[in-house]
Amino acid sequence: MFDESVLKRIQIMEQSGIRIVGERVIYIDPIRIVGAPHDADLILFTHPHLDHFSPKDAKKLMKESTVIAAPKRMAAQCRLLLGRKPVPLLPGETHLLCGIPIETVAAYNRRKPFHRKAMKWLGYILTFGHTRVYIAGDTDITEESKAVSCDIALLPIGGGGFTMNAEQAAALASAIAPHTVIPIHYGKLLGGANAAERFRTALDSRIAADIRPTAFSTVMVSLYLRIAVLLPLCAVLGFLIGKML
């Protein structure tokens, strides 16, 4: 059952960073956090890629009682980088975390290498009262995603070999028929500036598109620049180590 007050409590930070405020403060894949509010009751991670798992940002949100939950394969990373043992999750499970009913949904690419099904990365369905909110994670259209029942869906639309593009996300929305869709995971290197409008144009007119300007991201630009700098440095370091051996 769609509850507009739940929609208003959903904030998009950037890329796929999500904050949901109510009786509890919930973050999903927090990134580029301003300040250090230390206000998270629950932090959910969908998978460990750098644009979704940012330990320095998560630490700005964590407090003594913060619950961390993540795919089972991320457990060691969370313990090492966050100093906190997470609740380990697998696809197809149901949990009650911080009083919030949470279902896990497999998130993966069907013919692309970046998010393999075998890794068991996740999307989440959170239930607030009678309103179900689906955060898809980095995924293509899959049998699992098409089986989701929700009132509000947050779907990636950037394409680029990582997720659905705008048109594919619109097709998934038509299949699951939520009341409202918030497009996420798009930006300068993921779909471009017009991705959200392409999504709105392709979307079934019976479904509302809630486009949030804060979702437009430059995160991938920063990551690629870092990689461009680090790879030559690693090559030089490897060469020097080889000379010393």
Which CATH number is 57's domain given?
3.60.15.10
* pLDDT, mean over the chain: 90
Domain region containing 38: 4-244
Q: Dump pLDDT digits (tens) for 68-113.
A: 999 999 999 999 999 999 999 999 999 999 999 999 999 999 887 7
Provide the pairing of β-strand 67-71 with 42-44: parallel
Could you tell me the pLDDT band of residue 227, with boundaries at 50, 70 and 90? Answer: very low
Measure Cα distances from 244 to 165, 213, 236, 239, 240 in Å: 48, 52, 13, 9, 6
- Our count of domains for the chain comes to 1
Q: Which residues, 6 or more positions from 127, have their beta carbon under 8 angstroms from its beta carbon?
A: 100, 101, 102, 103, 133
One-letter amino acid of 127: T
Please give the DSSP secondary-structure letter assigned to residue 35.
Answer: S
